[in-house]
Structure 1
Amino acid sequence: MASISLLRQSRSCIAIFFLLFLTTLFSLAAATSLPRLAPPRDGGSSFLRRLLHLPSTWATRRSQKNLNGWVQDHPALLENLRRYEDEVVIRFNVSTTEHEAALRKAIDQMLLDVWDFTANYTDIRLGRRRIRPLMAILPPTLQHNHSVLIPDLSRLAAATYPSNVPTDLAIQAILPGRAITQPHGTTLPKRQGVDDVFFHDYQPLSVITTWMRLLDSMFRGRGLVRMFSIGKSYEGRDILALRVGMPPNNAAAADQPYRRRDTILVTGGLHAREWISTSTVNYVAWSFIRSIDQDPMINKILEHFDIVFIPVLNPDGYEYTWNVDRLWRKSRQRTKMQYCPGFDLDHAFGYRWDSVEHQDEPCSESYSGDKPFQAVEAARLAEWAKNETDHGVNFVGYLDLHSYSQQVLFPYAYSCGVQPPNLENLQEVAMNLAKHMRLSNGEVYTVASACEGAVTQAPDVRKTRTEAGGGSAIDYMYHDFHARHSYQIKLRDTGSYGFLLPSDEIIPTGEEVFQAMKYFGDYLLGNNGHESSLNVPPQDQADQEQMTFDDEEGVPELRRRRRKRCLQCT
């Protein structure tokens, strides 16, 4: 048995290395939409030969990206980046119902782009020339209660696109035996290895698709990974997913009928410009796959649950952000107004969809249509989930990744006046998700109900919201498919970069969510996260104990008395 296990591990290592070798080749040259390498001087060299003779002095710093490649090859994108030179992101401190109502009115009137909102602040993107008209319609207390978060939007947007040349680190990963001279002053990431190469930059849709196909082809033989499409987007693109799980008795199951079982669903990319959500879904999927045969906790989770990863639920919008407009948020579906396409997918689902509270202006960033499931991509997810449950799948958990603000949100999003029946369990798990993310890299994630972010006028009065709350994905999965642990996680950061998080944040963000998901899987197994917590690298033992027993994450009673899990409650 030991020799068989060793053989399997050896095969896994070889498969993983070969997978990343192919992935990097695709990432650097194969995808037609990727930046092109400079023509070889000899005119007839193969791509591989050119790789072998790449200069060893290229810097790996992300701040030294050459924008003459990708950006210059996309004129519409370049034009929009120039337009962003005149735009900023402003944060308004909001603490009263009057402030929120005034800001909401201004947002609707001027069709402003809301970047983020919480119970304490609202971030808005707008052109410099529109700042004075905005201030003119706001109360004086708000006029003097704001700050500029991002003064140079164009530079940050351009910096998120990958360089048009491969980095030394990528070449070192492809050819580990080849000596590479590290540029002076360059700081390498803490974790180096072939498994991280794909995540050194954000990747366009064509490369993500190739990468998912490679995972499917490399690991399907053991029954570990299956790639499939949940349906077509409005523009006809496949909405691809990876199902990761271990077959019964660890037997090869490529030719066996799929046995449906309890499933955890993880989605990203509902909003096109939130690239970190897509990269994080991919990173967590890869982390689970590469940990098989190495981490007993991962094996135990995947023996009992399937995890379905959908990294790009909005492929049309995501593609648009790479070719035309980096800050595009919605889908690309036509609306009743010809020049204002797109739906806000996060509020296009059926549960408590309320057209009165929804923004009914198609040109608004939060427009969700005239009826539930009018957005094609939301309808495809709902149809797929319904088909799964009709054939025996039980959704036990749902994680919907977004950015930004570093929050873990739980249902309900549509109203703070109604509480879910397993509220205490939702809060407890949310706090532990936040704790495990913090233990990973020290980043603080706050916990709140998804309905928050607007100030209540009175207990019996409907909230004046900065953004519509009904029809959200986490409410829909929680109520209609009984995913009793449904969460929206807003990833890094807290406003310095917003949706334009630098690419060197991809790996640490992914690690945070991976550690949180290990706890989540262990909790669903009935261990309350005790086993997975042993694998989280704390800063030190005293820090671990303090984070376990202090009250800073709120609701200390939930830490003192464990309640029975409520997966079956209604």
Structure 2
Amino acid sequence: MTWLLLLCLWACHVSGDKRIDYSGYTVHRFQVDTSSNTMEKLESFDMELDETTKTARLLLDVWAEPSKSNPYADVLVAPEFLSKFKSMLTASELATLKLLEGDIQSQINAERHAMLRNSISRRRKRSLMKSWTDFDTNSYHSYEEMMKFMKLLGEQKSDMVEVLKVATSSEGRTIYGVKIHPPGASPPEKPSIIVDAGVHAREWIAPAVALFLIRKIVSEYGSNPRVTANLDKFDWYIVPQVNPDGYEYSRISDRLWRKTRSKNTTVNRWCMGADANRNWGYRWGEAGANRTPCSNIYMGSHPYSEPEIRGLKDFFTWQIANPMVYISLHSYGQLLLSPWGYTNERTENYQDQQSAAREAAQAIKNTTGVSYSYGTISEMMYPASGTSIDFMQHRGVPYIYGVELRPTDNPNSFAFNLPPSYIRATGDEMLAALNAIGDHAVKIKRL
């Protein structure tokens, strides 16, 4: 098949959607002056709205916030905003400014071309996939492929896997999760580990790692002692793609799309979606909230305005009787973030949560050599309200972490375009981390 025909096939796949072009956009890193309000000022200039054409153009997007362990910020800047961006930095911040990527579109193009080169064999594999073991967890997949894998798994490993409907998205996609347990019946009071991923559309490594975990646990139960011991103690609930609308939009139209794809029916109607991790009802609209519909961190018109989050909340509340561990996978930053997000106050079980996080970080280090830092959302990064992390803490789940996956310490600035060759190692270190947290819970809670 010729390259031109391959391009044609890809063009047909995107169904006529116009791709957002980020030519000229640059990515910068600088050390943040903690005495300044630079980050707050920058985030207020994220979008330029054109009332005449009813369009919004991204001017600036904070990709990585500074933390106590990593005082650097990564920021995407539109070419026409670069001069203004530099003028907003303090002298000390400007002195540390480093260009990470001179044209982010070139990185997006490289990723797209790699996907094009693999599309023929992937297409053939999809048509031939008759077993869940045929699913390649070392690739990024469409949501349709994810669903097929989960359904095959439920059919062919019905003694261990139940496929569960979690919610329906704004565009009508069914959001599925799986429950994994040892062969046979599982008692309803058995403690559970919950993992969700894909909350932010552009963070492709997160759902890929969740799918890796599903396959790894099912395939290695009975042969891998750590996997076997963990599953004997805990049932696993994994929802690998919470935001399928946004994810598919990031695949075919806007690689850097973050939000859901709900329609805004109030002001700025051409700005779509909400930040699914600002839409939870507990402490919604407080610290770190953004009420501008065009913003990447827009909290939504009201708590649980997004059907994806409303469905996820009901699923967690009514279908999981004894949640012990909750992990929400994101990228990037290599962090294990615990509650609270809405306040600088510490939770009652802060020390226990930090002890488990310390053991998880050490397990990651022992597995792949990669360093993860840990602490609360507010003390490590920035105030954020309406998050799933705070909701689960309020509900009483003991061990809760928002995990920012790779990259950070890689010499290449992959950001959200992490090559699929990193999926396996990132999945291995996450399984090691979850096993460590599970071991800690067994010991402390005497399970």
| TM-score normalised over the length of structure 2 | 0.86
Letter in 2 for 1:512: E
Q: 1:329 and 2:258 equivalent?
A: yes
1:37-83 deviation line (CA, Å, top 9, x unaligned): x49xxxxxxxxxxxxxxxxxxxxxxxxxx867536753766742xx2
Q: Deviations over 1:514-570 (max 9, x none)?
A: 1222222233322xxxxxxxxxxxxxxxxxxxxxxxxxxxxxxxxxxxxxx2699xx
Q: CA deviation at 1:385?
A: 1.6
Whole-Å separation in 2 of the counterparts to 1:208 and 1:143: 44
Residue 312 (structure 1) aligns with: 241
Distance 1:110 1:268, change over 3 A: closer
CA displacement at 1:346 relative to structure 2: 1.1
1:285 deviation in Å?
Answer: 1.1
Matches within 5 A, 1:306-385: 306-335=235-264, 336=266, 337-355=268-286, 357-385=288-316
| Match among 195, 201, 208 for residue 272 of structure 1 | 201
Deviation at residue 452 of structure 1 after TM alignment: 2.8
| Residue 114 of structure 1 pairs with residue 28 of structure 2 | no
Please report how far the alpha carbon of residue 170 of structure 1 lies from its aligned counterpart in structure 2 after TM superposition: 11
Query: Aligned residues, how many?
Result: 420
Displacement of 1:307 in angstroms is: 0.4
* Pick aligned residue for 1:432 from 318, 343, 359: 359
Amino acid at match of 2:425: P
What amino acid sits opposite 1:401 in the alignment? L
Pairing partner for 2:386 from 457, 462, 471: 471
Residue 163 of structure 1 pairs with residue 116 of structure 2: yes
Deviations 1:158-200 (A, max 9, x none): 333423446889999x99xxxxxxxxxxxxxxxxxx9696123
1:136 & 1:373 partners in 2: Cα distance? 38
Question: 1:91-134 deviations in whole A, cap 9, x for unaligned?
Answer: 23113231xx1331232134331111122122111212210122
Paired with 2:358 and 2:286, the residues of 1 have a C-alpha distance of 33
Aligned pair in 2 of structure 1 residues 517, 137: CA closer, same or farther (>3 Å)? Answer: closer
Matches within 5 A, 1:135-146: 135-146=86-97
Preserved CA contact (<8 Å) 2:334 2:373: yes
Counterpart contact for 1:103–1:138, Cα < 8 Å: no
Quick one: distance in 1 between partners of 2:188 and 2:287? 43
Q: CA RMSD in A?
A: 2.9
Task: Give 1:219 deviation, angstroms.
Answer: 0.2
Q: Equivalents in 1 of 2:32, 2:19: separation in Å? A: 34
Q: Give the secondary-structure state (helix, strand or coil) at the position aligned to 1:345.
A: coil
Aligned counterparts, 1:397-436, within 5 A: 397-416=325-344, 418-436=345-363
> CA separation of 1:212/1:450 partners in 2, compared to 1, >3 Å: closer, same or farther?
same
Q: What are the residue-to-residue correspondences of 1:187-198 with 2, within 5 Å?
A: 198=136
Map of 2:172 onto structure 1? 236
Distance 1:300 1:342, change over 3 A: same
- Counterpart Cα distance in 1 of 2:7 and 2:76: 24
Secondary structure at the counterpart of residue 353 of structure 2: helix
Distance 1:148 1:261, change over 3 A: same
Distance 1:165 1:117 in 2: 34
Q: 1:477: how far off?
A: 0.8
Distance 2:240 2:358 in 1: 24
Do the aligned residues in 2 keep the contact of 1:408 with 1:488 (CA within 8 Å)?
A: yes
Paired residue type of 1:272: A
Q: 1:72 to 1:127 in 2, by over 3 A?
A: farther
In the alignment, structure 1 residue 128 sits paired with structure 2 residue 75: no
Equivalent residue in structure 2 for 1:84, among 7, 14, 22? 22
Is 2:64–2:332's contact at 8 Å kept on the other side of the alignment? yes
The secondary structure found in structure 2 opposite 1:86 is: coil
Cα–Cα, structure 1 residues 263 and 402, in superposed 2: closer, same or farther, change >3 Å?
A: same
- 1:341, 1:362 within 8 Å by CA — same for their partners in 2? yes
TM-aligned CA distance change 1:228 to 1:168, over 3 Å: closer
Q: Distance in 1 between matches of 2:106 and 2:220?
A: 37
Deviations 1:421-460 (A, max 9, x none): 1111111111111111121111111112211355xxxxxx
Change (3 A) 1:241 1:132: same
Q: Which amino acid aligns with 2:403?
A: I
| AA partner of residue 390 (structure 2) | D
Partner of 1:509: 426
The question of whether the paired residues in 1 share the 8 Å contact of 2:24 and 2:102 is answered with no
Task: Determine if contact 1:241/1:310 at 8 Å carries over to the other structure.
Answer: yes
TM-fit CA distance, 1:241: 0.1
Quote the Cα distance in structure 2 between the aligned partners of 1:435 and 1:170.
39
Larger-gyration structure (1/2)? 1
Shift, 1:484, TM fit: 0.6
Deviation at 1:327, TM superposition (A): 0.9
Aligned-partner Cα distance in 2 for 1:411–1:313: 21
Go from structure 1 to structure 2 and tell me whether the alpha carbon gap of 1:168 and 1:349 turns closer, same or farther (over 3 Å shift). Answer: closer
The structure-2 alpha-carbon separation of the partners of 1:396 and 1:314, relative to structure 1 and needing over 3 Å to count, comes to: same
**Residue 45 of structure 2 aligns to a residue in which SS?**
helix
Structure 1 residues 522, 135: closer, same or farther in 2, change over 3 A?
same
Change (3 A) 1:169 1:319: closer
1:282 to 208, 211, 229: 211
Partners of 1:507 and 1:413 in 2: CA distance: 30
Please state how far the C-alpha of 1:354 moved relative to its aligned partner: 2.8
Report the Cα offset of residue 85 of structure 1: 2.0
Alignment-mate amino acid for residue 275 of structure 2: D
1:386 maps to 317
Which residues of 2 match residues 41-56 of structure 1 at below 5 A? none
Contact 1:196 1:507 in 2 (8 A): no
Query: Quick check: 1:202 aligned with 2:160?
Result: no
- Superposed counterparts of 1:19-58, under 5 Å: 38=1
What do residues 4-36 of structure 1 show as CA deviations (whole Å, max 9, x unaligned)?
xxxxxxxxxxxxxxxxxxxxxxxxxxxxxxxxx
- 5+ unaligned residues in a row in structure 2: which ranges? 48-59
CA distance in 2 between counterparts of 1:77 and 1:313 reads 22
- SS of 1:374's equivalent in the other structure is coil
Describe the shift of the 1:141–1:520 C-alpha distance in structure 2 as closer, same or farther (beyond 3 A). Answer: closer
* In structure 2, distance between residues paired with 1:84 and 1:298: 43
CA distance in 2, matches of 1:197, 1:75: 25
> Structure 1's 118 and 566: CA in aligned 2 closer, same or farther, altered over 3 A?
farther
Contact 1:413 1:449 (C-alpha < 8 Å) held by counterparts:
yes
- The residue that corresponds to 1:214 in the other structure is 152
Alignment identity in percent?
27
